[in-house]
Amino acid sequence: MATAAAASLQYALHGAASASAKPRSAAPGRSVRVAAARRSVRARGGAVVARAAVTASADATAESKSGGHEVLLFEALREALIEEMKEDPTVCVFGEDVGHYGGSYKVTKGLAEMFGDLRVLDTPIAENSFAGMGVGAAMKGLRPIVEGMNMGFLLLAYNQISNNCGMLHYTSGGQFKIPIVIRGPGGVGRQLGAEHSQRLESYFQSIPGLQMVACSTPYNAKGLMKAAIRSENPVVLFEHVLLYNLKEKIPDEEYICCLEEAEMVRPGEHVTILTYSRMRYHVMQAAKTLVNKGYDPEVIDIRSLKPFDLHTIGNSIKKTHRVLIVEECMRTGGIGASLRSAIIDNFWDYLDAPIMCLSSQDVPTPYAATLEDATVVQPAQIVAAVEQICQ
> How many other C-beta atoms are found inside a 10 Å radius of the C-beta of residue 208?
9
Catalytic residue among 75, 96, 127, 147: 127
Distances (CA, A) of 188 to 131, 133, 196, 374: 24, 29, 8, 12
Separation between Cα atoms, residue 235 and residue 224, nearest integer Å: 10
Q: Are strands 91-95 and 120-122 parallel, antiparallel or unpaired?
A: parallel
Distances (CA, A) of 377 to 170, 194, 285, 374: 38, 17, 12, 8
Catalytic residue check, 100: no
Separation between Cα atoms, residue 107 and residue 121, nearest integer Å: 14
Q: Are strands 143-147 and 181-186 parallel, antiparallel or unpaired?
A: parallel
Among residues 160, 153, 170, which one has the least CA distance to residue 137? 160
Separation between Cα atoms, residue 43 and residue 39, nearest integer Å: 6
**3-state SS, residue 240:** strand
Torsion sign, CA atoms 171, 306, 223, 135? positive
Separation between Cα atoms, residue 276 and residue 278, nearest integer Å: 6
Q: In one letter, which amino acid is 195?
A: E
Residue 238's φ and ψ, nearest 5 degrees, are: -95, 125
Catalytic residue among 14, 196, 240, 282: 196
Catalytic residue check, 196: yes
Separation between Cα atoms, residue 263 and residue 260, nearest integer Å: 10
Separation between Cα atoms, residue 325 and residue 119, nearest integer Å: 40
Q: Say what angle helices 73-87 and 218-230 make with each other, to 10 degrees.
A: 30
DSSP 189: -
Distance from first CA to last CA of the chain, Å, rounded?
60
Among residues 266, 264, 202, which one has the least CA distance to residue 236? 202
Active site residues: 127, 196
